[in-house]
C-alpha cells in the first residue's frame, strides 16, 4: 500500500531530546488556620498569705501547739511519744504509731504541706512551742533521724522518763542519744528527766542491780552533763546523791539552772501500757511520806558513788 505525503504529515513529530513533561502538581485543600488558644488565667493569689504576718503566726500557733496540759501528772507514751516546750508556755506533744488512739493531741500539721512559704513560717512553731517526751531512747533517736538535722536544731524542750525495766540493755542507747542531743539539738534549752526504780524491791537490791534503774549510773550522768546548751535542767525521780552537785558544777558555769525534785512527787502515766508510776497509796501525806522514804533508801545505796 502506498503512503502519501499527506499521510506522513499527519503523524505527530516527537523530539526525543525534549525532557519528559512533569506530572501536574497535586491540588491542596485549603483549611482555615486554627484559632489561637487564649493563655491560661493567672493563678489566684493565696488569700491566707495576704493576712498580716502577726495574724498568720497566731493561726500557726493555734494549729501546731498541743494545748492539752495536765499540771497534776506527767503523761508519757511507751510507744512513740515525743514532746517540746518551756515549763509554763509550751505544751506536751505525744507522737504515736498510727494504731494508737492518741486523744491528747490536737495538732494539725497538714498545714505545713500547703506551700513552701507556709512551711517555712510555721515549722519553727511546731518544734519551739511544744515539749517532746519519750520513755525509750530508740523512739526519740528514730524521730530525730526522720525530721532531719535542721528540725532537730529547732527542738526547744524535751522530757525524758527512764523506766527501770530493761535498764541494762538500754544504757548505751541512752548515752548515744544524749551525745546526739548535745551535738545536734543546738536549740535545746529545757530538759526534764526522771528515773524510775522498782520501789517494792529497794530493800532487797544492791547497788548496780538492774531493777534499781539507771538513776545511779555514772555513765548516764556523765552524758547528761554534756548538754551545755541548756538554760534549765530539772531532774526528778530516783538518782544518785551526788548527781545534783555534779550537774551544777558542770553546767552552772554556762548559766544552766539545775532544779531537783526528790522521788516521784507527781504520778507518771505510761500511755502505751496504761501503767502509772509514782502514785503511791493513801492520801497526799501518806504518798509524800512513802515517796521520801523510797527516795532516801535509794540514795543510801549511792553514797560514795562520785561522778
Q: What is the pLDDT of residue 285?
A: 82
- For residue 268, tell me if it sits in a domain: yes
- The tally of domains found in the chain comes to 1
Whether the per-residue pLDDT at 72 is higher than 50: the answer is no
- For residue 4, tell me if it sits in a domain: no
* Mean pLDDT across 148-165: 94
Q: What is the pLDDT of residue 46?
A: 83
Classify strands 190-195 and 267-270 as parallel, antiparallel or unpaired.
Answer: unpaired
Checking 205-211 for CB contacts under 8 A at 24+ apart, the result is: 205/301, 206/301, 207/301, 207/302, 207/305, 210/164, 210/166, 210/167, 210/168, 211/164, 211/165
Whether the per-residue pLDDT at 220 is higher than 70: the answer is yes
- For residue 1, tell me if it sits in a domain: no
- For residue 154, tell me if it sits in a domain: yes
| Confidence band, pLDDT 50/70/90 cuts, at residue 156 | very high
CA 185 from chain centre, in angstroms, equals 12
Q: Could you tell me the CA-to-CA distances from 262 to 14, 215, 238, 243, 293 in Å, in that order?
A: 127, 12, 7, 12, 10
Q: In what order do the strands lie in the sheet with 91-93?
A: 91-93, 130-134, 157-162, 190-195, 232-237, 257-262
- For residue 8, tell me if it sits in a domain: no
Q: In what order do the strands lie in the sheet with 275-277?
A: 73-76, 267-270, 275-277
- For residue 255, tell me if it sits in a domain: yes
- For residue 267, tell me if it sits in a domain: yes
| Confidence band, pLDDT 50/70/90 cuts, at residue 212 | very high
Locus of grid cell 497538714: 110
Q: What is the pLDDT of residue 297?
A: 95
Q: What domain range includes position 215?
A: 78-300
Predicted TM-score of the model (pTM):
0.73
| Confidence band, pLDDT 50/70/90 cuts, at residue 304 | confident
- For residue 14, tell me if it sits in a domain: no
Over residues 31-66, the pLDDT tens digits come to: 677 778 888 888 787 889 999 999 999 999 999 997
Whether the per-residue pLDDT at 85 is higher than 50: the answer is no
Higher pLDDT, 151 or 28: 151
Amino acid at each position: 500500500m502506498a503512503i502519501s505525503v499527506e499521510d506522513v504529515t499527519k503523524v505527530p513529530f516527537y523530539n526525543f531530546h525534549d525532557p519528559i513533561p512533569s506530572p501536574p502538581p497535586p491540588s491542596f485543600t485549603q483549611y482555615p488556620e486554627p484559632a489561637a488558644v487564649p493563655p491560661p488565667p493567672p493563678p489566684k493569689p493565696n488569700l491566707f498569705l495576704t493576712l498580716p504576718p502577726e495574724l498568720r503566726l497566731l493561726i500557726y500557733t493555734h494549729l501546731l501547739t498541743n494545748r492539752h496540759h495536765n499540771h497534776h501528772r506527767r503523761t508519757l507514751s511507751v510507744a512513740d511519744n515525743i514532746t517540746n516546750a518551756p515549763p509554763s508556755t509550751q505544751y506536751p506533744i505525744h507522737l504515736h504509731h498510727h494504731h494508737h488512739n492518741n486523744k491528747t493531741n490536737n495538732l494539725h500539721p497538714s498545714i505545713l504541706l500547703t506551700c513552701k512559704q507556709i512551711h517555712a513560717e510555721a515549722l519553727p512553731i511546731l518544734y519551739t512551742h511544744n515539749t517532746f517526751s519519750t520513755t525509750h531512747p530508740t523512739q526519740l533517736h528514730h524521730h530525730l533521724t526522720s525530721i532531719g538535722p535542721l528540725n532537730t536544731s529547732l527542738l526547744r524542750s524535751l522530757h525524758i522518763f527512764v523506766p527501770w525495766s530493761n535498764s541494762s540493755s538500754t544504757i548505751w542507747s541512752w548515752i548515744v542519744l544524749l551525745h546526739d542531743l548535745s551535738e545536734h539539738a543546738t536549740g535545746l534549752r529545757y530538759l526534764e528527766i526522771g528515773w524510775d526504780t522498782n520501789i517494792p524491791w529497794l530493800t532487797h537490791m544492791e547497788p548496780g542491780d538492774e531493777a534499781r534503774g539507771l538513776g545511779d549510773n555514772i555513765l548516764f550522768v556523765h552524758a547528761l552533763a554534756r548538754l551545755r546548751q541548756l538554760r534549765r535542767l530539772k531532774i526528778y525521780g530516783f538518782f544518785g546523791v551526788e548527781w545534783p552537785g555534779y550537774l551544777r558544777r558542770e553546767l552552772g558555769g554556762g548559766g544552766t539552772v539545775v532544779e531537783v525534785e526528790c522521788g516521784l512527787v507527781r504520778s507518771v502515766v505510761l500511755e502505751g501500757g496504761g501503767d502509772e508510776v509514782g502514785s503511791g497509796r493513801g492520801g497526799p501525806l501518806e504518798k509524800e511520806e512513802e515517796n521520801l522514804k523510797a527516795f532516801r533508801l535509794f540514795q543510801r545505796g549511792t553514797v560514795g558513788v562520785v561522778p
